[in-house]
Structure 1
Amino acid sequence: MPRLGFHASHEQFAPSRLLTLVRQAEAAGFDVAMSSDHFAPWGLAQGQSGFSWGWLGAALATTSFPIGVVTAPGQRMHPAIVAQATATLEEMFPGRFWAALGSGEAVNEHITGDVWPSKPEREQRLRESVEVMRALLAGERVDHDGAVRVHDARVWTRPAEPPPLRAAAVGPATAAWAAGWADGLVTVGRDARALAEVLAAWRHAGGTGPVAVQVHVSLAGTDDEALGIAAEQWRQATAPGDVMWDLEQPEDFDAAANPGDEDALRAGVLVGSDARAMAESLAEIVGVGFDEVYLHHVGLDQDRFLERARDELLPALREATA
């Protein structure tokens, strides 16, 4: 049976509120949780973006389940600092932390003032960052001069075993590329056929370790209400995919989005009012072969979502995936 996870959205909630929510999620029956490392939200309606690394320590200290983070070492976050942060969290909470590494988006990374690289350059930078991080986590002294620069660095406080460094990948090509270095895969989407292609590419390239999917959902009293929540809070799902990585400000995402495009909204967010029907759709996604599924309710009323998750959605999903 897959592990059912809660996504803690730093883009939508202040970290103090998010800390309460992740504790409520564990009490509601979620097995695991994950969070995002953002400097800015996707859109103005979301309006938050706390520092995920500070929050992670508090979240792990006040819960008992595993929590991971999706992050992008190389520009805003130097890989030596990410290595130190992951080592510290794993030392304090052995076996309960993982990081999924991706090549990043301009909305978070442009703040350094450095040129935003092309996708091949970002992938090269990520690959070098992973090499640096693994060497530091192994206790080595590291010098590196390439897409990232490191001068005689070492991480002094390390866990007994390094935490898993998974890959964050959206498409099949990136998943196949990452299979050579990652300890697992984290992807996102709600189209079972497209997700199956990502997973097949990962496995064909020799990828090993747990495979996880994040699914954006909007569960409300009526379908229309659920669709309205998605349009208000997760409208960037309707923006053209080829511009998502290069936009710099939440205003840019709002301008590129078309929240009136119902088909595009439903393609990005699983919308509905019937928890059992939603569980069946999620079970189809899990059936592709995922070990973990992380649910991100895109609405702001997380209390009501967590109640329905506890009473309806999680039991139905466990029954459907048993």
Structure 2
Amino acid sequence: MARIGFHASHELFPPGELLRRARDAERLGFDGAMCSDHFHPWTESQGESGFTWSWLGAAMQATGLTFGTVCAPGQRYHPAIVAQASATLASMFPGRFWVALGTGQYLNEHIDGAPWPAKPERQARLLEAVKVIRALWAGETVDHDTPWFKVRGAKLYTRPERPPRIMGAAITEETAEWVGGWADGLITVGKEPADLRKIVAAFRRGGGASKPMALQAAVSYAEDESQALSEALRRWPVATVDLAKNQDLAAPADFDRETAGATVDDIRDKLRISADLDRHVEWLKGDIEAGFDEIYLHHVGPAPDAFLQAFSERVLPRCRG
């Protein structure tokens, strides 16, 4: 049976508020949680960007949920630091932490002042980072040279008995097929059913046939359909930005300019927006049928507490039946 969890958006809420919602999600029957890892929000109006790794320690102590996060080692984060941070969480909370690794966005990674590589270089950099992280988790003393980062005499002295799962983050078929060969599993984002099936097929074709798959699904729910639409546009306009630009824009103000003329019609089919809880059940059942083992609901609509309550009572039980 698929696990349905809660996505904690550090771009939309201050960390203390997110911590309370994580506790509420557990109390209301959600199976797990994941969170974003941004240095900047997508837009100025979102207005938050708490530090994920500090928050995860607090959230995992405050709940019994499993947790994961998506990060991009190799530029803003040295891979050895990602290895240490992940190992510490997995040591304190055995079996409850996973990490997803991806190539990142310029929005967050440019802060170190280094050039932003093209996608093929970022993929090569990520593979080198994964090698370093796995070697450190295995207790090796690591010396490693790449064009992007260096490691000298690094060894982790605090390591979990079992290292965390490394999920590969992918939003295109090409990337999904690529991560199938090296990651322990896949994490992707919600799409139209036909497009999602293509992502699944590509991942399995690339070597992920027996590996777990997770989905982060952005949803907007309100009792009024027009409010669900308008709030999704106001709070998550980044959904309307073309993927090629999404990874290469530098600042929240750039995303504000890109989305300045967006309308509710532009976002209507980009996210799962509906006042009809039956429709949300259909979406989730489709995800389960597509083979996803874990689904994390990222609510970008109004009244997040009402969303948690409504889905707990009227959506989750029907998806588990």
For 2:258 and 2:79, how far apart are their aligned partners in 1?
A: 31
Question: Which residue of 2 is the match for residue 310 of structure 1?
Answer: 312
Per-residue CA deviation, residues 216-274 of structure 1 (Å, 9 max, x unaligned), is 00000111010001110011111122100000111111111256443431232111111
CA positional deviation for 1:299: 2.7
SS state at 2:269 partner: helix
Asked if the contact 1:279/1:317 (under 8 Å) is kept, the reply is: yes
For 2:311 and 2:260, how far apart are their aligned partners in 1?
A: 29
Question: Which residue of 1 is the match for residue 95 of structure 2?
Answer: 95
For 1:106 and 1:267, how far apart are their aligned partners in 2?
A: 26
Over 3 Å counting, the alpha-carbon distance change for 1:135 and 1:17 in structure 2 is same
SS state at 1:175 partner: helix
Question: Which residue of 1 is the match for residue 35 of structure 2?
Answer: 35
Amino acid at match of 1:164: R
5+ long unaligned stretches in structure 1:
none
Question: Which residue of 2 is the match for residue 114 of structure 1?
Answer: 114
5+ long unaligned stretches in structure 2:
none
Count residues with an aligned counterpart.
319
Question: Which residue of 1 is the match for residue 5 of structure 2?
Answer: 5
Counterparts of 1:140-219 in structure 2 under 5 Å?
Answer: 140-146=140-146, 147-207=148-208, 208-219=210-221
Asked if the contact 1:238/1:259 (under 8 Å) is kept, the reply is: no
Per-residue CA deviation, residues 260-307 of structure 1 (Å, 9 max, x unaligned), is 443431232111111122111221232111111110110352111111
Whether 1:271 aligns to 2:273 is yes
Question: Which residue of 2 is the match for residue 130 of structure 1?
Answer: 130
Counterparts of 1:69-84 in structure 2 under 5 Å?
Answer: 69-84=69-84
Asked if the contact 1:68/1:97 (under 8 Å) is kept, the reply is: yes
Per-residue CA deviation, residues 32-87 of structure 1 (Å, 9 max, x unaligned), is 11011110111122110000000001111111121111111110011000000000
For 2:192 and 2:252, how far apart are their aligned partners in 1?
A: 26
Question: Which residue of 1 is the match for residue 236 of structure 2?
Answer: 234
TM-score, normalised on structure 2? 0.97
Amino acid at match of 1:93: F
Whether 1:53 aligns to 2:24 is no
**Structure 1 stretches (4+) deviating beyond 6 angstroms?**
none
For 2:165 and 2:159, how far apart are their aligned partners in 1?
A: 13
For 1:262 and 1:234, how far apart are their aligned partners in 2?
A: 11
For 2:262 and 2:37, how far apart are their aligned partners in 1?
A: 28
Amino acid at match of 1:241: L
Question: Which residue of 1 is the match for residue 245 of structure 2?
Answer: 243
Asked if the contact 1:235/1:259 (under 8 Å) is kept, the reply is: no
For 1:75 and 1:264, how far apart are their aligned partners in 2?
A: 33
Asked if the contact 1:190/1:216 (under 8 Å) is kept, the reply is: no
Report the RMSD for the aligned CA atoms in angstroms. 1.2
For 2:180 and 2:22, how far apart are their aligned partners in 1?
A: 30
Per-residue CA deviation, residues 66-125 of structure 1 (Å, 9 max, x unaligned), is 111111111001100000000000000000000000000001101000001100010011
Per-residue CA deviation, residues 164-220 of structure 1 (Å, 9 max, x unaligned), is 111111111111111121011100023111111111011111114210111100000
Amino acid at match of 1:247: L
For 1:300 and 1:87, how far apart are their aligned partners in 2?
A: 36
For 2:52 and 2:22, how far apart are their aligned partners in 1?
A: 13
For 2:307 and 2:145, how far apart are their aligned partners in 1?
A: 48
Asked if the contact 2:34/2:67 (under 8 Å) is kept, the reply is: yes
For 2:80 and 2:224, how far apart are their aligned partners in 1?
A: 48
Q: Name which of 279, 282, 285 aligns with 1:280.
A: 282
Asked if the contact 1:57/1:89 (under 8 Å) is kept, the reply is: yes
Asked if the contact 2:228/2:302 (under 8 Å) is kept, the reply is: no
For 1:65 and 1:255, how far apart are their aligned partners in 2?
A: 38
